[in-house]
């Protein structure tokens, strides 16, 4: 298994050698490699078993550094970066020629962000290259929010996990770009739409794609547990599965059911706080997936604030390819 530790110099040594390191961010843990080294980037796809047509996000230590890897930053997107970086915002920008095709899956825009985690920012500041870093998990499975999650899934394939503790946001970054003069959200995430609109005005939201996505993390079936993940009315689904004798677990926003054992149910936020729910989402999905239950019964969140991004992940977890 991989070594877990807070040693930035060790992480740098591995990355300088063209190998991969798991890094902490405020959103989820990333599987990182030199974004300017096509061989290292290919290792990311191979290690995750990720389709090569699904582009990657490039991580840099500051907005100033972004200028080295893109040809233009539109004024509206620059305003968002100045306001929300470091943070769970990814910008889709026209790429410079030093970004390899494999990073963008041949597309003419590259996804970039400045992560909000002190260890990773310190690491990025010491490197001579940016880091390509999708979530540090096998492709399509639940994203990791702790070093232990990474080790359980990829520990035999990488040598080092930079330990930054548990992720404070727990949902991937919101991806934003522009089409002509319109600001477009390509992926809902840890930055609420209303926060973005408070800076740049009304935006449009594009739904995810099932193939050849324009931005990272947009494939239809994603974040999937290994067990059936059923969305609907919890009371109805609980009654139905009980009557059929099916062993189930329950994931809710704030409900707890007295007739169900505590090991078989998780409320993401007892106070129905959607930010708290987002923080706990992936860890809760993983815990129930590792239980002895045969199916996982889940309710959708309110379609407000981060509830929209949580529901996006829940719907894709329930999609079967």
Binding-site sequence positions for L-threonine: 27, 113, 133, 173
Report the helix count and the strand count for the chain, using DSSP H and E: 11, 15
d(CA 274, CA 270): 10
Residues, the chain: 321
Residue numbers in the known binding site are: 27, 50, 59, 113, 133, 135, 143, 173, 187, 223
Return the beta strands (E) in the chain as ranges. Answer: 3-5, 21-23, 30-34, 57-59, 89-94, 109-113, 131-132, 160-162, 174-179, 182-187, 204-205, 229-231, 248-252, 265-267, 295-298
Residue numbers in the known binding site for ATP are: 50, 59, 135, 143, 187, 223
DSSP H or E run through 23: strand 21-23
User: Can you spell out the DSSP letters for 94-123?
Assistant: EBPTTS-HHHHTT-SEEEEE----HHHHHH
**Nearest CA-CA partner of 275 in 253, 306, 302:** 306
Residues 153/140, Cβ–Cβ less than 8 Å: no
Cα dihedral 63, 89, 192, 205 sign:
positive
DSSP H or E run through 174: strand 174-179
d(CA 172, CA 190): 6
Residues 6+ apart with CB under 8 A from 245: none
Task: Tell me how many degrees the CA angle 135-141-147 measures, rounded to the nearest 5.
Answer: 50
């Amino acid at each position: 298994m991989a070594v877990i530790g807070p040693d930035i110099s060790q992480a740098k040594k591995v990355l300088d050698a063209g190998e991969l390191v798991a890094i902490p961010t405020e959103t989820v843990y990333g599987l990182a490699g030199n974004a300017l080294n096509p061989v290292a980037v290919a290792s990311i796809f191979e290690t995750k078993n990720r389709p090569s047509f699904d582009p990657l996000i490039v991580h840099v230590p500051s907005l100033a550094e972004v200028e080295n890897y893109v040809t233009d930053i539109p004024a509206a997107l620059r305003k968002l970066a100045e306001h929300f970086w470091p943070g769970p915002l990814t910008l889709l920008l026209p790429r410079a020629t030093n970004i390899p095709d494999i990073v963008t899956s041949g597309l003419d825009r590259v996804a970039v962000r400045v992560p909000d985690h002190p260890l990773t920012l310190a690491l990025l500041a010491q490197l001579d290259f940016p880091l390509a870093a999708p979530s540090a998990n096998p492709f399509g499975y639940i994203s990791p929010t702790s070093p232990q999650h990474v080790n359980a899934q990829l520990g035999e394939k990488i040598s080092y996990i930079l330990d930054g503790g548990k992720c404070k946001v727990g949902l991937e970054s919101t991806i934003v770009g522009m089409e002509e003069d319109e600001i477009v959200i390509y992926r809902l995430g840890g930055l609420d739409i209303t926060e973005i609109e408070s800076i740049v005005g009304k935006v449009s939201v594009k739904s995810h794609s099932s193939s050849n996505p324009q931005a990272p993390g947009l494939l239809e079936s994603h974040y999937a547990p290994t067990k059936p993940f059923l969305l609907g009315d919890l009371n109805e689904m609980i009654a139905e599965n009980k009557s059929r004798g099916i062993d189930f677990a329950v994931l809710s926003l704030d409900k707890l059911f007295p007739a169900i054992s505590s090991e078989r149910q998780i409320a993401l936020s007892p106070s129905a706080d959607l930010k708290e729910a987002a923080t706990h989402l992936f860890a809760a999905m993983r815990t129930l997936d590792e239980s002895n239950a045969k199916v996982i019964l889940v309710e959708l969140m309110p379609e407000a604030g981060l509830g929209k991004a949580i529901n996006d992940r829940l719907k894709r977890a329930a999609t079967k390819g």
